[in-house]
Amino acid sequence: MLEITGLHKSFAGFVAVNEVSLTVAERQIVAVIGPNGAGKSTFFNLITGHLRPDGGRVMLNGRDVTGIAPHRICALGMGRSFQLTNIFPRLTVFENVQAALLAHRGKGRDFLSRAEAMFRDETMALLASIGLASQAGTVAGVLAYGNQKQLELGIALASDPKVLLLDEPTAGMSANETHETIALLERIAEQRGLTLLFTEHDMEVVFRIAHKIAVLYQGRKLAEGAPEEVRANADVRRVYLGGHA
């Protein structure tokens, strides 16, 4: 589904992502872990087109998408969420998801129909699937933090992605919110046959849901493998897991 080869990016001479390769199979759940500043978000931004790589290649489902615009990559089936949320805080929960559906499929819409009615059933169905149906009328900015991240997932799902990249989906959440979000992600991935690539600092989450783990350290890929292999890797324990698992 994703074949990343030798991805490279430097900022004014500082190498943030150094020749990183990674393969993600269809329906696989892959975690990218590593200490703060390891290059995880930069790596994701290179994959989704939000940053242009200096070198390397990104293949999505057999198609070269290296360096093309984020909205085009999105249209080809790659969704994402951000480390900090990316919702419209003054719109309602309903309007946030509706706007995302319109942005993705709104072409050729009937301008005579009332905005509110557009994609109403689909919006409600999507909200139900992410557990936010009862909050449809709530202004997004006042939602609990965990619910805002859930809403962001809903916005990402509106483009009907095959692959979803999630940058710290549980960052800033309480233990309870983390638990609910992970259960939700597992359920949605299963229902939709999604391929997931995510970064996460919570090692309990990582070791519970990842089929494969890649470890970044100072921009380089330090290790990659099944969770148990990575947990046992001496280099990984030394630079990262020592304090985490």
Ligand X SMILES: Nc1ncnc2c1ncn2[C@@H]1O[C@H](COP(=O)(O)OP(=O)(O)OP(=O)(O)O)[C@@H](O)[C@H]1O
Determine, following the binding rule CB under 5 A, whether residue 41 of this chain makes contact with Mg ion.
yes
Report how far Cα 28 is from the mean position of its chain's Cα atoms: 13
Determine, following the binding rule CB under 5 A, whether residue 96 of this chain makes contact with Mg ion.
no
Phi and psi at residue 216, to the nearest 5°: -100, 145
Determine, following the binding rule CB under 6 A, whether residue 170 of this chain makes contact with ligand X.
no
Cα gap 136→70, rounded to integer Å: 28
Q: CB count, 10 Å around CB of 228?
A: 10
Determine, following the binding rule CB under 6 A, whether residue 54 of this chain makes contact with ligand X.
no
Q: Which range touches Mg ion (CB under 5 A), out of 40-48, 98-106, 114-122, 184-192?
A: 40-48
Restricted to residues 79-138, the positions that interact with ligand X (CB under 6 A) are 83
Q: Which range touches ligand X (CB under 6 A), out of 40-48, 103-111, 176-184, 188-196?
A: 40-48
Nearer to ligand X, 41 or 195 (CB): 41
Determine, following the binding rule CB under 6 A, whether residue 147 of this chain makes contact with ligand X.
no
Determine, following the binding rule CB under 6 A, whether residue 42 of this chain makes contact with ligand X.
yes
Cα gap 197→236, rounded to integer Å: 19
Helix 93-105 vs helix 120-129: angle between axes, to the nearest 10 degrees? 120
Cα gap 224→30, rounded to integer Å: 10
What are the tokens at 196?
């997931």
Determine, following the binding rule CB under 6 A, whether residue 11 of this chain makes contact with ligand X.
yes
Q: Which range touches ligand X (CB under 6 A), out of 33-41, 54-62, 88-96, 181-189?
A: 33-41
- Residues near ligand X (CB under 6 A): 11, 16, 34, 36-42, 83
